[in-house]
Amino acid sequence: MSDFIPVNVPRFVGNELAYLSECIDSGWVSSEGRFVGAFETGMANLMGRKFAVAVQNGSNALDISIAALNIGPGDEVIVPSFTIISCVLQILRVGAVPVFVDSDVDTWNMDVSQVHDNISSKTKAVIAPHIYGLPIDMDPLVSICNEHGICLIEDAAEVIGQTYQGRPCGSFGKLSTVSFYPNKHITTGEGGMVLTDDPSIAEKLRSLRDLCHSPERRFKHYELGWNMRMSNLQAAVGLAQLEGLPDSIIRKRQIGMFYSEKFQDLSSVNLPIVHTDYADNIFWVYGMVLKEPTSRSVTDIIDKLNRCGIGCRPFFFPLHQQPLMDKYLFRGKSLVVSEYLGSHGFYIPSGLGLTDRDMEYVAANVRNILS
């Protein structure tokens, strides 16, 4: 048996160490160092945006996006249930209401056709998280939002470097957010960013991440801010990772295609969609979903893989079923696809640091367990 293969291992093969050394040698380690601006500009160019604001993580990026839009008590924000908790934290903190929609059973992305029915006079925004490397069908979503004057927040954490009909993911929302956690296509250890074309929103975001110092007098404050500033150390790694992004996307597609080929004859599971007419999957993670009816359980599969030294994780737990929501009013809703994905889905090692040998070993064991 080889050593344990975790679900994710990051890869550092470019200028990461050289840029980090520059930070240390020059003494520029805080957010005032040169890499922060360079990384922001690079990300803005990648996503075809005018402004980028680097923060401490992807959850922060979502938090200040909600704050910058002045979303407050009673406002509604439409969000899919099948995503990470980060999408709703600030909504709940300010006393706004997440209105959950279901997802598509094949793409695992939010079912855009349900957005329309959930719009009310209180709807302020839609949060659209692209799931697991395949984009949401953006055209219909963008037109619904435009038609109703609703703000679109695009959560592009899982699709850095991906395109929708040839346009960069992250270029569609009024605001777009990304994360640079180690399992994302670019990592800074911890890190995130908000991107926008709107100069006044960009200014607000910069102020919110830096304690809301007033422009006329530093250390004087009219509003509540946060310290979410990204350090030069993080940005140094991020810039090097951004330089390597084209290769990373190629590698992620290789990993995904390899697994899909190995598993194509497994009748017990649904595999990720490899392409649609608007995008080719970049397999943020390689997910699999048990088909119904099934006598298998995800917990059992995870146990069996772990015993072979292979990391495996369950899919997101649907937000509308979170115990946390009991404290709020969101009860009695049933979103069957999100519930099915949450209980039947799991993902296997697919990080950029995975070796070809690891892939063969994982594929053989997954096949063995699922056949």
Q: Which range in 38-46, 80-88, 301-309, 350-358 contacts ligand PLP by CB under 6 A? A: 80-88
Task: For residue 57, state whether it binds ligand PLP (rule: CB under 6 A).
Answer: yes
| Distance in angstroms (rounded) separating the CA atoms of residues 143 and 65 | 21
| Residues of this chain, 336-355, that bind ligand PLP according to CB under 6 A | none
Taking CB under 6 A as the criterion, the residue among 28, 181, 258, 330 binding ligand PLP is 181
Task: Please give the residue whose beta carbon sits closest to ligand PLP in the complex.
Answer: 58
Determine which one of 124, 184, 204, 252 is catalytic.
184
Q: How far is the CB of 74 from ligand PLP (least distance, A)?
A: 25
Is residue 125 near ligand PLP by the rule CB under 6 A? no
| Residue 303: Cβ within 10 Å count | 12
Active site residue 184: yes
Q: Is 248 in the site for ligand PLP (CB under 6 A)?
A: no
Does residue 154 belong to the site contacting ligand PLP (CB under 6 A)?
Answer: no
Contact flag: residue 169 with ligand PLP (CB under 6 A): no
Can you tell me which of 10, 33, 129, 349 binds ligand PLP, judged by CB under 6 A?
129
Please tell me whether residue 358 adopts helix, strand or coil conformation. Answer: helix
Stretch that binds ligand PLP, among 29-37, 55-63, 116-124, 352-360 (CB under 6 A): 55-63
DSSP string, 131-193: BTTB---HHHHHHHHHHHT-EEEEE-TT-TT-EETTEETTSSSSEEEEE--TTSSS--SS-EE
The reply to whether 90 sits near ligand PLP by the rule CB under 6 A is no
356 exposure class (CB count in 10 Å sphere: 0-12, 13-18, 19+):
exposed
- Measured from the CB atom, is 141 or 369 closer to ligand PLP? 141
86 binds ligand PLP (CB under 6 A): yes
Count of H-run helices and E-run strands, the chain: 12, 13
Residues within window 189-228 making contact with ligand PLP, judged by CB under 6 A: 192
What's the sign of the alpha-carbon dihedral 196, 201, 203, 209? negative
The site that binds ligand PLP (CB under 6 A) totals a number of residues, namely 13
| The residue type at 135 | P
Site for ligand PLP in 277-336 (CB under 6 A): none
Specify the DSSP class assigned to residue 225: -
Q: Could you say whether residue 110 binds ligand PLP (CB under 6 A)?
A: no
Per-residue DSSP letters for 233-285? Answer: HHHHHHHHHHHTHHHHHHHHHHHHHHHHHHHTT-TTEEPPP-B-SS-B---SS
**Dihedral, CA of residue 161, residue 167, residue 169 and residue 171, to nearest 10:** 120
State which of residues 155, 234, 335, 348 lies at the interface with ligand PLP (CB under 6 A): 155
Under a CB-based contact definition with an 8 Å cutoff, are residues 84 and 132 in contact? Answer: no
325-352 CB burial, b ≥16 within 10 A, e <16:
beeeebeeeebebbbbbbbbbbbbbbbb
In whole angstroms, how close is the CB of 59 to ligand PLP at the nearest point? 3
Residue 62 Cβ vs ligand PLP, minimum distance, rounded to whole Å: 6
CA distances (Å), origin 14, targets 54, 101, 356 = 21, 41, 20
Looking at 1-9, 51-59, 118-126, 223-231, which segment touches ligand PLP (CB under 6 A)? Answer: 51-59
Task: Return the number of the residue (151 or 157) whose C-beta is nearest ligand PLP.
Answer: 157
Q: How far is the CB of 51 from ligand PLP (least distance, A)?
A: 20
- Please, which residue, 130 or 263, has the CB nearer to ligand PLP? 130
CB 240 within 8 A of CB 15: yes
Interface with ligand PLP (CB under 6 A), residue from 179, 188, 241, 248: 179
- Alpha-carbon span 23 to 332, nearest angstrom: 53
Q: Is 157 in the site for ligand PLP (CB under 6 A)?
A: yes
In the complex, what is the shortest distance from the CB of residue 346 to ligand PLP, in angstroms, rounded to a whole number? 16
Binding status of residue 58 toward ligand PLP by CB under 6 A: yes
DSSP state letter for 221: B
Q: Give 32's Cβ-side CA count (13 Å radius).
A: 3
Residues of this chain that bind ligand PLP (CB under 6 A): 57-59, 83-84, 86, 129, 155, 157-158, 179, 181, 192
Active site residues: 184
